[in-house]
Chains A and B, each alone.
Chain A
Amino acid sequence: MAINKIERVLRDQVTQLTQKLSKITQAEEIYPLRSLYTGKESELQKALGLLKDLPKEERPTAGSLINATKRELEQAISEKLTKLLSEELAAQDAVRDIDVTAPFHVNMPDVPKLPRVGSLHPLQHEINRMLTIFTTMGFTPFEGREVDSDYYVFDSLNMPKEHPARQNWDTFRTEDNLIPTPHTSNMQVRVMRKMKTAPLRAVIYGRVSRNEAIDAVHGHTFYQIEGLYIDKGVSISNMIATINAFVEAFFGRKVTGKVQPGYFPFVEPGIEYMGQCPFCEGAGCGSCKHTGWLELVGAGMIHPSVLREGGFDPAVYSGFAWGLGLDRMVMQRNGIQDIRSLFSSDIRFLSSAV
């Protein structure tokens, strides 16, 4: 047989198969076709047997022709099969095989009960604890926005466009130039404008994010909580005492604190509050990286620009804000080594609370 004849036969096979496939509506009908066109007795296999009779120089051309046809036939079959199977699945899915208004399925009056005691997420547990402390201290809670404008994230917090401190937060941005907020302070000016009168006591909490690669100690998502206090004649001394009261309530024991300068553009002055490690009482342990101290709180006296932005005259009022990250607290409390355990977690972790 000449090569052009082989070619014709193969073309014909493809045409035949295409026609037959187009008529098929059930997946099971396809299997006989598969053996007919690609099986042992198929024209394709026969053509393969004829190869050796061809002149040597034509064999490679004919060989690749047969292979190409084989691929074409197999592809047509598998495409059709996938289509039919998914149509069958969809048809099966479309069957109203349960009464969605019923309390259980026919003949199955027993609905399984979840066997374990459920549990709050450890972050939620901590949020709840904090909110209890804050509300008993007279602070009204507000949950923060997750995505916010430049104005609330930066401008309103004394960080105009060119401010170098903007760099200190590696923020995400959306295509509409909004910012998944890197801190909960984006709510400060809002809360001031809403509450309007002093003394103002508010607590803001929520999810914040930074554009960082994830590893055991870094996440792009975490939780913060911050307190806000504004009144006439509020002093640094008041700030330190309040933070101390909060920290002691949180740990449920007396905590020795120390204050050092810190820099945050929305406060003046800014401080960092360190607490003597409550786990080792200052002796040094894994929780405090063997320093005896835990960095607990970032704080400061609210910057006059921020007060002004929130509608409080800085000549009359002063105030302070203090905030902390919840994830680290959760990790310390639970001895969690890998921050990734907190999100998308394993049910065995979630239900491990004892």
Chain B
Amino acid sequence: MKYSLTQIKKYIPELVTIPTDELITRIWGSIAEVESVVDYKKKFEGIVVAKVLSVEEHPRSSKLVVATVDCGASEPVTVVTGAKNFAVGDFVPYLSVGATVPAMTDEQGNPLEIEIRTMVGIPSVGMLASERELGLSDDHSGIMILRPEEVRFDLVPGAALSSVLEYDDVIFEIENKSLTHRGDCFSNAGIAREIATLYNLPVTIPEWQLPSQQTADLLGKEFDKELPCKISIKLSALSAVERYSAIVLDGVQVRPSPLWLRAYLTKHGINPVNNVVDVTNYVMLEYGQPMHAFDASTVLHKTRDEKVDFQIDVRFSEGGEKLETLDGKVRTLGQNVTLITDTQEPLALAGIIGGKASGITADSTRIILESAVFNKYAIRNASMALGVTTDASILFSRKQDPEKTVRALLRAVHLLQELASAQVVSPIADDYPPQKLSTTIVVSHEKLEEFLGIALSVGNVEQILTGLGCEVQRKNGMYRIDTPSWRPDLAIDEDIYEEIARMVEYKNITPELPKRGIFGVSLDSYEQVKQTILSVLTGIGYSQGMNFSFVSKDQYSLCRVSLDDAQKISNAISPDVQYMRKHVLPGLFSQLTKNQYNAPLFGIFEIGKTSRRTMRYTGAPVEELHMPESSFGIDELGLPIEDEHLSLGIIDDSKQPGYFTLKHSIETLAARLRMTVSFLHPSSLSAKEKKALPVWLVELLSFYREGRVALIYAGDQEVLGVIGEPKSAILTDAGITKQIALAEVSLPKLSRFATLDPVYTEPSRYPTVTEDYCFEVPVSVAYSSIIQKIEKAALLYKAEVTVSLRPRDIFQKKEETKQVTVSVTYMPLKQSLSEREVQMYRNSLVFSVQEVGGKLV
């Protein structure tokens, strides 16, 4: 909403003593953020009224004319221009050298500054402007001609154009969103009330706005006349309309509005249409009452003798009704859209937009003027359902004060009498169902001070509340507050606290920290595991990526992973945000793909939430759930479980299969979390074990190359996730030419096996012995089974010696066998080892490996 400081100053004359900058800062601090401030006087600096003294053809160009004008300076000036629509004696806007064109920029968007420019040999000193260049309208057909009858000031050469056009104003704008709850602030009069309260200044309310002014006073002699028309109102849609007032006017001469009115609207960002429509908009800007004018000849009526009867019915639409609205669109209405009808045909969408057929045209003479207040929910729902937002719908959906309909109507009638020669031909029809207009709130001064945290004077509190329109009675430290009809948002004690807080200004509330006890807070164990993962993975060279929680069909189908059971977004504006992810991997895969040429070897990981449509919290404890379900318990009933996953991947252009590079990282991570992990090809699982795998993991298996995939286990008991390389077909589709491997694990599961506070052991005081053993085994024997055998054998001696293993080499030169070299370290616990003992351990280990067909080389 845009506001005019000139108009506000008419309501608060004493405001002239306050500098604009200070005022804007104060509005910002107490009402709402000011989006923009435009000082038109400044914008129009150097632009004056000029009188044309002569006009001649340019001697060397038929397209140009040379004019001399009196711009109030001692000497006339010469201007060269392409427009030829003006004549000697005309008054025109003149931009002197140094002025900037208000509504035009160069190609780079910089303001255009006027300088002396030679045009085909003749220097043009300054410039004459069109309405468009001044920002008054879209008219660029010629130089603007200023006509004495159109302006309210004398046209004198040299007079500042901004004063003559009544453009010497400061317009400031507040975003509608900031005033969602403040329907009363959507007008100059409304914001003036706030500003007057801020400065404790008296408000001069124009007489037409006084509630005591009755229809009779304003309509004068016409009031007693026997009027030829009558209008009656029926409110069938009673829940949607709070008050409906209307009047019939005749003899209306529809024509363009005078300049001052057009300028007023333009400054507020509203396009002038004709005097009737412009007046309704003027009243809306001034007073916050949206109005609408109908051409009465298009409205169904009864004629008896000389009397004409109109009847307006405000009713809900029946499904399927059609109405062509003023914007030229034919709208098919659903049910329950509030309509203004002439008992048969719809005339307008109530509170939103008028119908085309009943609109004002140049030929309209008799009009019906509507001033009504509609229910905010009815207007908001209809506006959203139909996709139409207008100034009226914006105002109504923020709740308007039904008290003002008749006063606004009378204001418009006055203006139309003056500007369109309108005559009143009907009494005012006014249907005003009884409703609650005020709330009584009782607050204590003590509580108020406690809530704000500062001391307040009783007088200050009373001044603020009365200024805002409340009636206040004070007794025993309590205020009894009756709220005004325009402030339905004031309903509870806290609303009153807010009014006081913002009006005394937050900067006057001295900050004081809460008095606190001593307490400690640490991250819970899950968060600590997460932080450890972050530091381990970044420590070994991984970068953390973030991909959207939304995924597309394409992403999933590229990965050959099913989207079944994904939560689907029903109102997505882009195909990239169709589903909520069930896995982190597809996003990470496309990120790896995009980056494949950005580095020869790199790793990315991501931690993110995954969910499934049908996997919901049922109230039963789920041990592996961490957040937030298990934590918040019953509150989560029925909501999809959000399971956090860690996905990591590498791209590499060495020969080593990517699988091993990634596996090594996972083992490092596990070691740092003091947990053991093992890797198992899915084919080693029994049917029953396969069935027990989590769905997300089974789904991911179709992404992996069958021969290069493994399940990741914590120890050998619980499956954490999966690791492997993508299918060859996926690599082809994605255009990947390097080694790539990806893994995904469930973070809550991982965190259950992690040890955050490890136990430390003193080292042995006896020397350790390390030996390398090379076993030749059939190629089909898994490395892990050799290790398992060694570990099993070592277990026998665990009271005497701690055995640790380190892989050295896996070497294959024959078709059927490979040689696995393991470094074995014996750390004696009780005494130094003799050669005999080492021999015994070695034999024992070697014997054990023989069970899988291995022999020591």
B574 and A107: CB pair below 8 A? no
Are B543 and A262 neighbours in the complex by a CB distance under 8 Å? no
Q: Is B85 part of the binding interface, using a Cβ–Cβ cutoff of 8 Å?
A: no
Which of B243-251, B502-510, B691-699 lines the interface with chain A? B502-510
Closest chain B residue to A237 by CB distance?
B453
Interface residues of A in 209-259 (CB under 8 A from B): 209, 211-214, 220-221, 229, 231, 233-238, 240-242, 244-245, 258-259
Q: How near does chain B come to A215, taking the closest CB pair, in angstroms?
A: 12
Q: How far is the CA of A235 from the CA of B746 in the complex (A)?
A: 43
Residue A354 is within 8 A (CB to CB) of chain B in the complex: no
> Which residues of chain A have C-beta atoms less than 8 A from B384's C-beta?
167
Q: For the complex, is A94 an interface residue (Cβ under 8 Å from B)?
A: yes
Check if B657 sits within 8 Å of A174, measured CB to CB. no
A55 within 8 A of B: no
In the complex, the chain B residue whose C-beta lies closest to that of A89 is B728
B367 within 8 A of A: no
**B residues 699-723 in Cβ contact with A at 8 Å:** 705-710
> Which of B28, B180, B540, B710 is the one whose CB lies under 8 Å from A263?
B180
Decide: B498 and A269 in contact? CB cutoff 8 A. yes
Q: Is the CB of B602 within 8 A of A347?
A: yes
Interface residues on B, range: 35 or more
Q: Which residues of B contact A94 (CB under 8 A)?
A: 706-707
B737 at the binding interface (Cβ < 8 Å): no
Q: Mark B577-595, 1 if CB is under 8 A from A, else 0.
A: 1001000000100110011
Query: Is A53 part of the contact surface with B, judged by Cβ < 8 Å?
Result: no
In the complex with contacts A97-B707, A141-B523, A105-B657 CB distance below 8 A: yes
Residues of A within 8 A of B539 (CB): 117-118
B510, B678, B705: the one within 8 Å of A101 (CB) = B678
Which of B541, B587, B680, B732 gathers the greatest number of chain A CB atoms within 10 Å?
B541
The interface stretch among A10-18, A36-44, A277-285, A338-346 is: A338-346
Tell me, yes or no, whether B611 is within 8 Å of chain A by CB. Answer: yes
Query: Are A350 and B604 neighbours in the complex by a CB distance under 8 Å?
Result: yes
CA distance A39 to B108 in the complex (A): 62
Complex Cα distance A136/B265, Å?
55
Segment 492-540 of B: residues with Cβ below 8 Å from A: 492-495, 497-498, 501-502, 506-507, 509-514, 516-517, 519-523, 527, 531, 534, 537-540
Given A114-B602, A135-B521, A268 contacting B495 (CB threshold 8 A): yes
B513 adjacent to A238 (CB under 8 Å): yes
CB contact between B380 and one of A147, A164, A175, A194 (< 8 Å): that residue: A164
A236 and B452 within 8 A (CB): yes
Within 8 A of A (CB), among B1-40: 28-33
Stretch of A19-27, A63-71, A120-128 contacting B (4+ beta carbons < 8 Å): A120-128
Contact in complex: B509, A233 (CB < 8 Å): no
- With both beta carbons as reference points, the residue of chain A lying nearest to B376 in the complex is identified as A164
Interface string of B611-628 (1 = CB under 8 A from A): 101000000000000011
Cβ of B683 to closest chain A Cβ, rounded Å:
8
Closest residue on chain A to residue B520 by CB atoms: A138
Q: Are A194 and B632 in contact (CB under 8 A)?
A: yes
Task: Choose from A168, A190, A343 the contact partner of B635 (Cβ within 8 Å).
Answer: A190
Q: Which of A258, A303, A304 has the most CB of B within 10 A?
A: A258
- CB-CB under 8 A for A100 and B681, given A92-B728, A173-B569: yes
Min C-beta distance of B545 to chain A, whole Å: 6
- The stretch from B284-292, B333-341, B805-813 touching chain A is B805-813
- Kindly specify which of B73-81, B647-655, B832-840 makes contact with the partner chain: B647-655
Which of these binds chain A: B59-67, B273-281, B344-352, B658-666?
B658-666
> Are B550 and A120 closer than 8 Å at their CB atoms?
no
Question: Which residue of A is nearest B807, CB measured?
Answer: A103
Q: Are A146 and B609 in contact (CB-based, < 8 A)? A: yes
Q: Please measure, in the bound complex, the distance between the C-alpha atom of A184 and the C-alpha atom of B853, giving whole angstroms.
A: 60
Q: A118, B538: Cβ atoms under 8 Å?
A: yes
Minimum C-beta distance from A169 to chain B (A): 11
Identity of the chain A residue whose Cβ is nearest the Cβ of B521 in the assembled complex: A135
- B308 to chain A: which residues have CB within 8 Å? none
- Structural contact, B509 and A240, CB atoms closer than 8 A: yes
Residues of B within 8 A of A345 (CB): 545-546, 591
Q: Which residue of B lies closest to A142 (CB)?
A: B628
CA distance A348 to B655 in the complex (A): 24
Given B538, B661, B667, which contacts A112 in the complex, CB threshold below 8 Å?
B661
Contacts of B628 in A (CB 8 A): 142-145, 187, 190
Cβ–Cβ contact B546 & A99, under 8 A: no
Residues of A within 8 A of B574 (CB): 213-214
CB-defined contacts of B708 to chain A, threshold 8 Å = 93, 97-98, 100
Q: Does B729 contact A (CB under 8 A)?
A: yes
**Measured CA separation A174–B415 after assembly (Å):** 52
Task: Verify A209–B678 contact, CB threshold 8 A.
Answer: no
Q: How many A-B residue pairs have CB under 8 A?
A: 373
Given the complex of chains A and B, what is the CA–CA distance between A344 and B549 in angstroms? 11
Chain A contacts for B68, CB-based, 8 A: none
By the criterion CB–CB under 8 Å, are B549 and A180 in contact?
A: yes
A178 contacts the other chain (CB 8 A): yes
Query: How far does the alpha carbon of A119 sit from the alpha carbon of B544 in the complex, in Å?
Result: 6
Of A172, A241, A269, A342, most B-chain CB atoms within 10 Å: A269
Q: How far is the CB of B504 from chain A (nearest CB, A)?
A: 10
Task: List residues of A (322-351) whose CB comes within 8 Å of B's CBs.
Answer: 342-348, 350-351
A135 and B523 contact, CB distance less than 8 A: yes
B398 within 8 Å of A (CB atoms): yes
Set of chain A residues within 8 Å of B514, measured between Cβ atoms: 199, 229, 231, 234, 238, 241-242
Instruction: Determine whether A106 belongs to the interface, using a CB cutoff of 8 Å to chain B.
Output: yes
B657 surroundings in chain A (CB, below 8 A): 98, 105
Inter-chain CA distance A112–B659, complex, in Å, is 11
Interface centre among B498, B531, B661, B728 (most CB of A within 10 A): B498
Q: Is B435 an interface residue (CB 8 A)?
A: no
B818 at the interface (CB under 8 A from A): yes
Tell which of A121, A139, A140 has the most Cβ of chain B within 10 Å: A121
Contact of B501 among A209, A269, A344 (CB under 8 A): A269
Type the 1/0 row for B466-494, where 1 means its CB is closer than 8 Å to any CB of A. Answer: 00000000000000000000000000111
Q: How far, in angstroms, from A105 to B811 measured CA to CA in the complex?
A: 9
Alpha-carbon distance A214/B550, docked complex (angstroms): 13
Q: Decide if A104 touches B660 in the complex (CB within 8 Å).
A: yes
Please, which residues of chain B bring their CB within 8 A of the CB of A236? 451-453, 497, 501, 506, 509
CB-based nearest A residue for B709: A100
Contacts of A174 in B (CB 8 A): 567-570, 580, 613
When A108-B656, A344-B594 are in contact, do A119 and B570 touch as well, CB less than 8 Å?
no
A318 interface contact, C-beta 8 A: yes
The answer, yes or no, to whether A96 is at the interface (CB within 8 Å) is yes
Give CA–CA (A176, B638) in the complex, Å. Answer: 11
Find out whether the CB atom of A104 lies under 8 angstroms from the CB atom of B544.
no
In the bound complex, do residue B537 and residue A135 qualify as a contact, i.e. CB atoms below 8 Å apart? no
Docked CA distance A165–B380 (Å): 11
Decide if A130 is an interface residue (CB 8 Å cutoff).
Answer: no
Distance from B508 Cβ to chain A, minimum over Cβ atoms (Å): 10
Q: B642 and A101: CB pair below 8 A?
A: no
**Which residues of the partner chain A approach B572 to less than 8 Å between Cβ atoms?**
172, 211
- A83 CB to nearest chain B CB (Å): 12
Is the Cβ of B661 less than 8 Å from the Cβ of A164? no
11 contacts between A and B (CB under 8 A): A93-B706, A100-B679, A100-B681, A102-B807, A118-B538, A149-B638, A174-B613, A176-B613, A235-B453, A268-B498, A344-B547
Given A260-B30, A261-B498: 4 more A-B contacts, CB < 8 Å: A102-B807, A110-B656, A187-B628, A304-B494
Closest 5 interchain pairs by CB? A237-B453, A114-B541, A235-B453, A269-B498, A101-B784
Interface residues of B (CB under 8 A from A): 28-33, 177-182, 376-377, 380-381, 384, 397-398, 450-454, 492-495, 497-498, 501-502, 506-507, 509-514, 516-517, 519-523, 527, 531, 534, 537-550, 567-574, 577, 580, 587, 590-591, 594-595, 598-599, 601-604, 609, 611, 613, 627-628, 631-633, 635, 638-640, 642, 650, 652, 654-657, 659-661, 663-665, 667, 678-681, 705-710, 724, 727-729, 732, 782-785, 807-812, 818
